[in-house]
A and B are shown apart, each in its own frame.
Chain A
Amino acid sequence: MSPREVESGPPPGEVTRLLHAWRGGGEAARERLIEHVYAELKKIAGAHLRGERRGQTLEATGLVHEAFLRLVPQTRVDWRDRAHFFGLASTCMRRVLVDRARARAAAKRDPEGYVLTGAPFGARSSPEELLDLDRALERLATEHPRLAQVVEMRFFAGLEVAEIAECLALSERTVKRDWAFARAWLLRELEKGV
């Protein structure tokens, strides 16, 4: 990571401040947070993928965790900040991945052979799969918003059940049930092939 990229991040302490503002009910703070976290995640994922590592699975948990450690000064960690951050980061992670998939899908359709500047994730699976999932999740969110959140956290941010429970202030048992139901719901939705 070049020094310039490091410098362009939010000033230290900014993310903590926004987290507190958001917890106090500030929706504007949430938007600003998403901006920062989205930018950071994109940067980390991009830097990582540019590194041309072969033979290694990229772990969502690692990315989100890294973003957290980079954005939130670690001198006095408030574990509530952490939970909120992880919850929000999963939304951002979803955006990062969906954006990439969208770009890849567009590139595939473009007869000119549009080439992405930031190396795409790879060519193994169709980006459409991820886009379908994204759309199904949208619909799930309209009917069961909390379930969509659990899926985001588990799937896009790789959070453990315990961590999700912590973020959403639920029992682990509830999270497990939500997860099972959401998967069934999504599979049915995807099979409908809308």
Chain B
Amino acid sequence: MTGESLRDLFARAEELEGVEREELLRAVGRRDPDLARELEELLAAGARADSLLERSPYDLETIADPVSLPVEIGPYRILREIGRGGMGTVYLAAQRGEGFERLVAIKRLDRRGASPTSERRFRDEVKFLAALEHPGIARFLDGGRAADGSAYLALEYVEGSDLLAHARQQRLSIDQRLRLFLEVLAAVEYAHARKIVHRDLKPGNVLVGADGRPKLLDFGISKLIDPDAGDSSDAATTRTELRALTPAYASPEQIRGGPVTVASDVYSLGVVLYELLAGVRPFQSASGDARELERAVLEQEPEPPSTAARRALTEPSAPRGGPEGGVANASDAPDAPNAPNAAIRLGRDLDAICLKALRKEPRERYASVALLAEDLRRLLAGLPVLARRGGLTYRLLKLARRHSVHVAVAAAAALLATLFVLLAVRTSGSGPVARDARPAPPRPRPTLSRIGELSARFAENPGQPEIGLELIATLLAAGRGDDAMGAVVRLRQLPGELGKGPRIDLAEAEAALAVSEYQRAASAAGMAREGALRTQDATLARRAQVAQARALLRLSTPEEANRRMAELFTAAEAAGDEWAAVAALVVRAVAARKGAQAEEAERLVAEALPRARALGEKRLEIETLTLRSRLEGESGAVDQGLATLEVALALAREEGDVASEASALLMKMALLNWGGDDEAAVEVGKLAVHRLRLSGDREQLLTVLANTAIQRTERAQFAEAEAAIAEAEPIARSLGSPRHRGAILRTRGYLEEQRGDRPAARASYAAAVAVGREAAVDSVLAIYLNDLAWLELYDDNFDAAAIAAEEAVELYRRGGDERGALEAEPVLACVDAARGRVARARKRLAALTKGADESDSESARFVVLIAEARVAEIFGELPRAVVLRRRLVEIAVGFELPGLVMNQRSQLALALDRAGERSEATAIAKELLPQAERLGLGDVIRECREILDHAGTLPAPRTAL
């Protein structure tokens, strides 16, 4: 009897009852008694088997009172629960569509009974969120109501580790952490531009996937969960929101139940950044009590993250790398990146940035996420950060502010930081290019006569690339990058194979390094290496690797350069190539410092220095010494760093190597500046600029020159300013980027305006606006428009002024730059007044005055005050205008800028003249005129002459600023 028939019989019998079933059994028994017995047994078992295998095998396995899992929510099939929080439960679910199926996350919300209004708002919000589409934001798919009436949201399912865990697991350096954080900021910025505030930013809401890219979860969700939250009109309900929040990351206003804005997200991001860098949060509650924590958030000032990181390191509770502490790699500490070095690197700028984001008052924080991001980018690029130098750098960033707004800028300090960035990679790009691996004979000093001689020989013997290569090597040794690049170009033009080959590729790579063309350096070095390997010239290949790694320091990560140089070091040691070995050590040291591993950098420097010395490689020796001085300075030993630098400088001078000397000089500026000796720093700076001119680093030079021009213009030293601009203009053109060109145009316009050449200034500002449109960077364009608006206003071109100012205000606001808007909007108040819209002008002025007072920005206050004076003049409130003008002069005197003071005094004289106080007006004009003539302040000269000319008659109603 086959199984099938037993199964068939069983199925048949199962459908029968009582007598009929017995009959069937008897019938079977007659044919096969065994089969009948088995069938009977099975039927009996079947009757008891109802519960068998009904429980899932996991029931056997889970601890638990089984809570039923919904099978479906909306169109989604629930797979399992993946999370549970204050706001509800999160499930993993499958969405099955036509021809596809995917995993999604479903949030079922514990939401209070919804009124029709809130229901509509829920639906609107859902639509709104569904429009958010950014690679850094988990997609919001859908929202609706489940069969049981509860609200649910369907979101993209994201897999990954949370931000802090990722940074810890991957042992990210500070730079890597910052770059990752910048990606997070970009996503938040995107949402903010669409008026969606996150309101619950925390590391757990930032998942980093297998591809290393972060994704933000739950954007705008907290508002859905509690639709009334954040509505400042209803403080009672906002308070309830906190339960869904994570107090450790909530802003003071969220805890207080105040309005939740973009600034709240800025704050939460500040906490996340702080924790990402320091490994601890800014506020802790020892007892774990939420109220205590809230009080701390509301009342305590957070300590700087660098201090917190250092403390976390020394406190016994914080795990250390090893028992000795010394060699132990502190990156083993749980959160802090390379903790001891972090404590050093975190200093100053990062402290300032974190603390600015963490201000208690929303308006004191970064006005937008974009500005926070910009500051971090500036930090990464080694530029002065906005947070640190407050309003001053703010203006420097924008190059020149309007003359009337100018404040004495600690320009030298800011400029230093700008220059400082390139130091690490700056110096020696070149090894002995046209040499073989044998110990190099002492290289002839790259004297001018030597360069001239080689140059002439190269010109006379175009068929001998050897001479060209030697010329390039000599030029590079002298630090003359531009000239070396020129020689490379000439070599390349040689016919046939003469202009090709790995040695010429390497020469190009090293020259490109010297003039900051890193992409070009990397590709030329790559070609040199391949070619060298083909011709089996291992020494040349190693040199190419060094050049490549130097380019990678700028193009890629320090880790990458370090990895490559570690490999090269081993190979060079094995081959007995001492130059390559030492160069590899030096590049690794630079990379370690860039990667915030100061101790490792120090160790490598100590290893490289004696070997460079023994080898007679002065250039590597100078570079190493300069790096050592930087490490010393960064660890606080400024004097020691300066002493180290003197050795480096002496060597560089002896060698006639201007590039190395310029780098050492910039380092000296920085150290003097850190040590507080600004005067000396400025003097060293002049020398550094001189050397930079020779070495050919154009970008660096442009920055220095532009800043110099502004400084000089502010001090009414127009000839010097003009010279700096004249030198900067061709550089800006050759660099080609609209930003560079725009900056110089604006600098020139500022000079022209100060000199009183108004048509020229208008042309320069208008050109800057055109370039700004080309650059398509709102924040930059806004600045240029602002310049133009004030110029037009001064000349009573109200329509043009209004058009430019309106666009500037809009662009500033769009970028979240309230302070910028405060500087452009006063123009509109003046235009209102001039057009006779009295009430509107007054209302606008009142709002601006309030905004300026709250902004804590000197320049904003100053500009608004100017507008007030101007409006008073337009309305004919002459005594009031005089009072305001007097105040402006006082403030200007405080800025200690002669040009600004004289401008304001001349405006005061005009106001006095109009108000009938002619004797004082004349006295001021008489005093001002000779000074203005000496300095060449065109506007002041004109105005003074005007007052003096019609002394005794009623002056024309000039209302100039």
Across-interface contacts of A33 in B (CB, < 8 A): none
Closest B-chain residue to A104, C-beta based? Answer: B61
| Residue A28, interface by CB 8 Å | no
Across-interface contacts of B94 in A (CB, < 8 A): 65-66, 69
B758 to chain A, nearest CB (A): 61
Closest B-chain residue to A129, C-beta based? Answer: B60
Across-interface contacts of A97 in B (CB, < 8 A): 57-58, 61
What CA separation (Å) do A185 and B84 show in the bound complex? Answer: 42
| Residue A117, interface by CB 8 Å | no
Question: How many residues of A are in contact with the other chain, CB < 8 A?
Answer: 56
Q: Mark A92-107, 1 if CB is under 8 A from B, else 0.
A: 0000010010000000
Across-interface contacts of A144 in B (CB, < 8 A): 3, 7
What CA separation (Å) do A71 and B481 show in the bound complex? Answer: 55
Is the Cβ of A59 less than 8 Å from the Cβ of B61?
no
What CA separation (Å) do A123 and B62 show in the bound complex? Answer: 8
Is the Cβ of B63 less than 8 Å from the Cβ of A123?
yes
Closest B-chain residue to A58, C-beta based? Answer: B58
Q: Mark B50-89, 1 if CB is under 8 A from A, else 0.
A: 0011001111111111111100000001111110100000
Give the contact stretch, choosing among A17-25, A34-42, A47-55, A108-116: A47-55
User: Which one of A61, A74, A178 contacts B7 once the chains associate, using CB atoms below 8 Å?
Assistant: A178
Across-interface contacts of B160 in A (CB, < 8 A): 1, 3
Is the Cβ of A181 less than 8 Å from the Cβ of B7?
yes
Q: Mark B811-825, 1 if CB is under 8 A from A, else 0.
A: 000000000000000
Closest B-chain residue to A60, C-beta based? Answer: B56
Is the Cβ of B80 less than 8 Å from the Cβ of A63?
yes
| Residue B694, interface by CB 8 Å | no
Across-interface contacts of B209 in A (CB, < 8 A): 3, 6
Across-interface contacts of A100 in B (CB, < 8 A): 61
Across-interface contacts of B99 in A (CB, < 8 A): 76-77
Is the Cβ of A56 less than 8 Å from the Cβ of B62?
yes
What CA separation (Å) do A66 and B103 show in the bound complex? Answer: 7
CB contacts under 8 Å to A, within B489-526, are none
User: Which one of B69, B92, B212 contacts A66 once the chains associate, using CB atoms below 8 Å?
Assistant: B92
Is the Cβ of B49 less than 8 Å from the Cβ of A187?
yes
User: Which one of B10, B61, B161 contacts A121 once the chains associate, using CB atoms below 8 Å?
Assistant: B61
What CA separation (Å) do A121 and B64 show in the bound complex? Answer: 11
Closest B-chain residue to A122, C-beta based? Answer: B63
Give the contact stretch, choosing among B37-45, B439-447, B542-550, B783-791: B37-45
| Residue B650, interface by CB 8 Å | no
| Residue B567, interface by CB 8 Å | no
| Residue A70, interface by CB 8 Å | yes
A130 to chain B, nearest CB (A): 6
What CA separation (Å) do A66 and B84 show in the bound complex? Answer: 19
User: Which one of A59, A65, A125, A184 contacts B69 once the chains associate, using CB atoms below 8 Å?
Assistant: A59
CB contacts under 8 Å to B, within A132-191, are 143-144, 147, 151, 154-156, 158, 177-178, 180-181, 183-188, 191
| Residue B159, interface by CB 8 Å | yes
A117 to chain B, nearest CB (A): 17
Across-interface contacts of A75 in B (CB, < 8 A): 100
User: Which one of B56, B78, B161 contacts A58 once the chains associate, using CB atoms below 8 Å?
Assistant: B56
Across-interface contacts of B212 in A (CB, < 8 A): 3
B54 to chain A, nearest CB (A): 9
User: Which one of B78, B102, B208 contacts A3 once the chains associate, using CB atoms below 8 Å?
Assistant: B208
A148 to chain B, nearest CB (A): 12
CB contacts under 8 Å to A, within B3-33, are 3, 7, 10-11, 14
What CA separation (Å) do A143 and B3 show in the bound complex? Answer: 8
Interface residues on B, range: 35 or more
Is the Cβ of B161 less than 8 Å from the Cβ of A59?
no
What CA separation (Å) do A117 and B171 show in the bound complex? Answer: 26
B102 to chain A, nearest CB (A): 5
Across-interface contacts of A188 in B (CB, < 8 A): 41-42, 45
Across-interface contacts of A1 in B (CB, < 8 A): 159-160
What CA separation (Å) do A54 and B45 show in the bound complex? Answer: 35
User: Which one of B43, B63, B101, B166 contacts A54 once the chains associate, using CB atoms below 8 Å?
Assistant: B63
Is the Cβ of B42 less than 8 Å from the Cβ of A69?
no
Is the Cβ of B61 less than 8 Å from the Cβ of A53?
no
| Residue B169, interface by CB 8 Å | yes
Is the Cβ of A121 less than 8 Å from the Cβ of B58?
yes
Is the Cβ of A6 less than 8 Å from the Cβ of B60?
no
| Residue B46, interface by CB 8 Å | yes
Across-interface contacts of B57 in A (CB, < 8 A): 60, 97, 130, 155-156
User: Which one of A6, A57, A181, A185 contacts B56 once the chains associate, using CB atoms below 8 Å?
Assistant: A57
User: Which one of B45, B68, B69, B80 contacts A187 once the chains associate, using CB atoms below 8 Å?
Assistant: B45
User: Which one of A56, A62, A183 contacts B53 once the chains associate, using CB atoms below 8 Å?
Assistant: A183
Is the Cβ of A184 less than 8 Å from the Cβ of B61?
no
Across-interface contacts of B77 in A (CB, < 8 A): 65
Q: Mark B532-545, 1 if CB is under 8 A from A, else 0.
A: 00000000000000
Closest B-chain residue to A124, C-beta based? Answer: B63
Q: Given A3-B209, A63-B79, A191-B45, check contact A181 B61 (CB 8 Å).
A: no
Is the Cβ of B81 less than 8 Å from the Cβ of A181?
no
Across-interface contacts of A74 in B (CB, < 8 A): 100-102
Is the Cβ of B103 less than 8 Å from the Cβ of A58?
no
A63 to chain B, nearest CB (A): 7
| Residue B112, interface by CB 8 Å | no
What CA separation (Å) do A178 and B59 show in the bound complex? Answer: 24
Is the Cβ of A57 less than 8 Å from the Cβ of B66?
yes
B25 to chain A, nearest CB (A): 14
What CA separation (Å) do A61 and B61 show in the bound complex? Answer: 15
Q: Which of B59, B82, B210 has the most CB of A within 10 A?
A: B210
Across-interface contacts of A65 in B (CB, < 8 A): 77, 79, 94
What CA separation (Å) do A85 and B41 show in the bound complex? Answer: 35
Across-interface contacts of B62 in A (CB, < 8 A): 56-58, 121-122, 124
User: Which one of B56, B63, B103 contacts A59 once the chains associate, using CB atoms below 8 Å?
Assistant: B56
Closest B-chain residue to A47, C-beta based? Answer: B82
What CA separation (Å) do A14 and B61 show in the bound complex? Answer: 32
User: Which one of B42, B65, B81, B102 contacts A185 once the chains associate, using CB atoms below 8 Å?
Assistant: B42
Closest A-chain residue to B6, C-beta based? Answer: A181
User: Which one of B14, B46, B67 contacts A56 once the chains associate, using CB atoms below 8 Å?
Assistant: B67
A150 to chain B, nearest CB (A): 11
User: Which one of A48, A51, A69 contacts B101 once the chains associate, using CB atoms below 8 Å?
Assistant: A69
What CA separation (Å) do A118 and B102 show in the bound complex? Answer: 28
A183 to chain B, nearest CB (A): 4
Across-interface contacts of A69 in B (CB, < 8 A): 94, 101-103
Q: Mark B156-168, 1 if CB is under 8 A from A, else 0.
A: 0001110000100
Across-interface contacts of A76 in B (CB, < 8 A): 99-100
| Residue B291, interface by CB 8 Å | no
Q: Given A3-B208, A154-B53, check contact A180 B14 (CB 8 Å).
A: yes
A119 to chain B, nearest CB (A): 10
What CA separation (Å) do A151 and B49 show in the bound complex? Answer: 13
A54 to chain B, nearest CB (A): 6
Q: Which of A62, A143, A191 has the most CB of B within 10 A?
A: A62
Is the Cβ of A3 less than 8 Å from the Cβ of B161?
yes
Closest A-chain residue to B4, C-beta based? Answer: A144
CB contacts under 8 Å to A, within B903-935, are none
B254 to chain A, nearest CB (A): 29
Is the Cβ of A55 less than 8 Å from the Cβ of B49?
no
B297 to chain A, nearest CB (A): 29
| Residue B438, interface by CB 8 Å | no
Is the Cβ of B64 less than 8 Å from the Cβ of A59?
no
**Sample of 20 further A-B pairs with CB below 8 A, known A65-B79, A74-B100, A184-B10:** A1-B159, A3-B160, A3-B209, A4-B210, A56-B80, A58-B61, A58-B80, A60-B58, A62-B78, A65-B94, A66-B79, A120-B61, A121-B58, A121-B60, A121-B61, A123-B63, A178-B7, A181-B11, A183-B45, A186-B49
16 A-B pairs whose Cβ atoms sit less than 8 Å apart in the complex:
A1-B160, A55-B64, A55-B65, A55-B66, A56-B62, A56-B69, A62-B92, A77-B100, A97-B61, A143-B3, A147-B7, A177-B11, A180-B10, A180-B46, A183-B49, A184-B42
The 7 A-B pairs with the shortest beta carbon distances in the complex, nearest first, are A121-B61, A62-B79, A184-B46, A58-B58, A3-B210, A57-B66, A122-B63
